[in-house]
Structures are given as C-alpha cells and as structure tokens.
Amino acid sequence: MTVVKASNNANDVMEQITSAGRQIEHASFDVVDQEAGAHNYTADQWPLVRRMIHATADFEFNGLAQFHPEAIAAGITAMIAGKPVVADVEMICVGLSKPRLAHFSISTHQFISDDDVIEKAKEQGTTRAVQAMRKAAQQGLLEGGIVAVGNAPTALLEVIRIIKDEGIKPALIIGMPVGFVSAAESKEALSALTEVPWIITQGRKGGTTLVVSAIHALLSEAIHREDNA
C-alpha cells in the first residue's frame, strides 16, 4: 500500500516540473489534437483518450477507447473523495504521480506478489491476479474504489464475478488488460456490465501505460473541477 500526503497547490501537481517539460507536453497534446482526426468522444472523454495517444503514439486508441456514460463523472467524484486505487500489478502504482495522488490523499494498493496471494493461487489452482482481487475485496478496498487493470485479464474477470456474486460495487473500473488470452473477452464482458461505470480499450491492445494515462487524465480533471467549484 502507498499512502501520500495531500498538497494544496494544484499548479504544482498538474504540470511538468520544468518549463521545458511543460512546453514539450503541451506541444505533444497539440500534435495529437491536430492529427487524431474526427472522433465521437465527448468533451469530458477526449482529454483521457488524448493522453492515452500521447503516452503510446498510437492513434488507434481514437476509437478503441470506450466509456460507460457515467465513467468520467464517477471517476472524478471518487478521486475528489480520496477513494483508493486498486491495481492488478505494481507497475500501475509505481507509474502514478505521487503529487497528483497526494492532492486528494489517494492511496494505491496491489497484492499480486503477496505471499498469501501466491500460496492461495497455488492451492486453489487460480492465478495470483484472481487472489489479489479477492484480497482487495476482503479488505474493503473494492467497494467505492477505483479498480485499475492493465495486465491481467483474470483480475478483470474476477472483479466482474465479485460484483455479480457479492454485490460489491467499485466507483469505476478501468479495464485495459493487454494480451492474447482472454484480454479482449474480459473487456467485452466488462462492457456488458451495467452495475458499475467502466472505461475499456477494445480488443487485444491495452497495458499499464494506458491505465496510468487514464488515471492521470482523471486526476487532472478532478483538480480542475475542484479549483473551479
């Protein structure tokens, strides 16, 4: 678990630290806007898709990214309330900006390498990702939290099962596992879910970089809305 202290200066956490860094990032976003072409995303959704394209230089995400109608609002509300982020792998937690998380006192959690998770996976013939999500549910982190899956389709499928069988409802699921086995299928199953808002990338493409980008976009918008409330 990572817990960070809050910051009150939004400008310090929103932008790159150096002026050169800020100029490069802003210029990159301008290029994405110019080259992405037409899209069907709302004004709230596009900043997230744009950041995903910026992080990967892959314009196919203009179309592959799909949103539950309430996803952006639900994610922003959860972040402003300081709800936890539960990730399938440590890479997501490491990739997230600590100052941006600190602004809302958001904690991050991942259990994929915990000894008890590994042992239960071996005993029950499941994956570590499945047991990690069960542990998160047992600790009360999934209810009202933000689930972030960028690597393990089985983690996403387990979260869907927990929602259906146990009635636990995360605030938002960002489901973007990458791969060839169950990745596309797990995201398709999530997109059919009506109980909880979600954001996905259709098909095999995905990954932790995209999840981190999506969360950063939501954090930026949450800070912006907080400042203009």
Compute the distance between CA of residue 35 and CA of residue 105 in angstroms, rounded to an integer: 36
Going by C-alpha positions, the residue among 79, 130, 129, 127 that lies closest to residue 107 is 79
Catalytic residue among 54, 68, 109, 224: 54
Determine how β-strand 85-87 pairs with β-strand 108-109. parallel
The tokens of 89 are what?
A: 């792998």
- Residue 86 is classified by DSSP as E
- 54 included as an active-site residue: yes
DSSP 128-173: HHHHHHHHHHHTT-STTSEEEESS-HHHHHHHHHHHHHH----SEE
Alpha helices in the chain (DSSP H): 10-14, 19-35, 46-56, 61-64, 71-80, 90-95, 98-103, 115-124, 128-138, 153-166, 183-191, 208-227
181-201 core/surface letters (b: 16 or more CB in 10 A; e: else)? eebbebbebbeebeebbbbbb
**End-to-end CA gap in the chain:** 31
Catalogue the active-site residues.
54
